[in-house]
């Protein structure tokens, strides 16, 4: 079934759990969406705080907003409940702890109307950093989003982010058996891999007006837990190219960490690897610089070099945390598997 060529209406589906601190800003931002026909379906995934009551209070006089309780358990079940209640042929997904510009949905609708894409990967960035830890997170995140955009542009998509994702509803429904409910995370990447495997058109939304912002983690433990949660889906990957990229990233960073030891064991080889490392961080710098320009972020060369130096340590720390850390999300245990991305 092909999407309609008429004016696109969007169903924005958002699962939330214990987001009392963010719901007011979320709903205020969605209320201000302009120049687009849309509805918002909010699904409470068994919050233990006042989120459900607050969401109902904030949307009581908003006929285009619907608030539901999750009939199942977990984010994927919540999204399925939301999609079942949605009215329109195009779905937009985001997270409750995000900030949305007023033309966000209008830009997503425009991309559906002006292209043949059935899956749209929208741009996401972290809010403006205030310290080095947040700066590290911002540019780590920037490198992922920029790589994702480049891979989509090269017709080799490898990742996306559920904070800004849109899809034709019939396609999302057809992909349900491939979204792997046994994994706590991955509603976004498994959908991407399904679309890629079935040769559906995927596009990156290359618009400043479609940038969704989310927040950095306040503590190192929370940051590593977030990365472990992202990693919890990697055992379910079915795309060989994505797996190749993931293992390449891991092995390259292992070699970088091994450089001091290699200098002691075999100096000629070490100089060759060091030269490759310098080439790598130079290429990475130019990639991230392009991403920073798009997102209007300042790229400080000194801070970048500091990040490049500690990045391999961060990757290995993420591996160890995924194996041995107390990995929870929203007070729920997540799968413990090796960190690949």
Q: What's the mean pLDDT when you consider all of the chain? A: 85
- Between 284 and 63, the higher pLDDT residue: 63
Of 94-108, 124-138, 163-177, 183-197, give the lowest mean pLDDT range: 183-197
Separation CA 233–CA 189 (nearest Å)? 8
Residue 322 has a pLDDT of 63
Query: What SS3 class is residue 12?
Result: strand
Residue 261 has a pLDDT of 75
Label residue 194 exposed, middle or buried (CB < 10 Å: 0-12, 13-18, 19+). Answer: buried
Q: Reading across the β-sheet that carries 90-93, which strands appear in turn? A: 65-69, 37-44, 9-16, 90-93, 165-168, 119-121, 202-204
Separation CA 77–CA 81 (nearest Å)? 6
Contact yes or no for 6/36 (Cβ under 8 A): no
Of 128-137, 285-294, 309-318, give the lowest mean pLDDT range: 309-318
Handedness of CA 26, 146, 80, 16 (dihedral sign): negative
Residue 338 has a pLDDT of 34
- Between 46 and 310, the higher pLDDT residue: 46
**Is the pLDDT assigned to residue 152 strictly greater than 60?**
yes
Separation CA 227–CA 187 (nearest Å)? 15
Residues recorded for the chain:
341
pLDDT band for position 5 (cuts 50, 70, 90): very low
**Is the pLDDT assigned to residue 260 strictly greater than 90?**
no
Residue 13 has a pLDDT of 98
Residue 249 has a pLDDT of 78
**Is the pLDDT assigned to residue 130 strictly greater than 60?**
yes
The mean pLDDT value for 45-61 works out to: 95
**In terms of Cα–Cα distance, which of 106, 341, 126, 112 is closest to 239?**
341
Q: Which residues pair with 11 in a beta bridge?
A: 39, 91
Of 26-40, 56-70, 90-104, 187-201, give the lowest mean pLDDT range: 187-201
Q: Which of 74-83, 165-174, 186-195 has the highest mean pLDDT?
A: 165-174
Separation CA 236–CA 178 (nearest Å)? 10
């Amino acid at each position: 079934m092909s999407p309609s060529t008429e004016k696109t209406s969007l169903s924005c589906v958002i699962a939330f759990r214990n987001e009392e601190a963010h719901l007011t800003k979320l709903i205020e931002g969605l209320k201000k969406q302009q120049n687009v026909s849309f509805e918002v379906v909010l699904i409470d995934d068994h919050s233990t705080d006042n989120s459900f009551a607050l969401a109902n209070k904030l949307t009581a006089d908003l006929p285009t907003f619907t608030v539901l309780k999750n009939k199942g358990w977990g984010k994927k079940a919540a999204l399925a409940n939301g999609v079942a209640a949605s009215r329109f042929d195009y779905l937009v997904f985001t997270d409750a702890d995000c900030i949305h510009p007023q033309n966000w949905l209008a830009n997503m609708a425009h991309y559906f109307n002006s292209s043949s894409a059935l899956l749209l990967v929208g741009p996401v960035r972290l809010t403006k950093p205030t310290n080095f830890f947040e700066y590290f997170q911002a540019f780590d995140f920037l490198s992922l989003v920029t790589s994702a955009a480049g891979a989509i542009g090269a017709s080799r998509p490898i990742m996306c982010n559920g904070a800004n994702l849109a899809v034709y509803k019939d396609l999302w429904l057809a992909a349900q058996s491939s979204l792997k409910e046994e994994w706590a995370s991955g509603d976004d990447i498994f959908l991407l891999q399904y679309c890629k495997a079935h040769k559906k058109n995927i596009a990156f939304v290359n618009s400043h007006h479609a940038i969704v912002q989310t927040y950095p983690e306040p503590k190192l433990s929370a940051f590593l837990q977030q990365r472990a949660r992202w990693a919890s889906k990697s055992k379910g990957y079915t795309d060989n190219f994505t797996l190749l990229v993931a293992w390449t990233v891991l092995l390259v960073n292992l070699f970088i960490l091994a450089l001091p030891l290699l200098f002691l064991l075999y100096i000629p080889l070490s100089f060759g690897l060091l030269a490759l490392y310098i080439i790598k961080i130079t290429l990475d710098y130019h990639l991230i610089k392009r991403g920073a320009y798009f997102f209007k972020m300042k790229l400080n060369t000194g801070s970048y070099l500091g990040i490049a130096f500690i990045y391999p340590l961060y990757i290995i720390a993420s591996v160890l945390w995924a194996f041995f850390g107390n990995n929870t999300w929203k007070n729920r245990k997540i799968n413990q598997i090796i960190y690949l991305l």
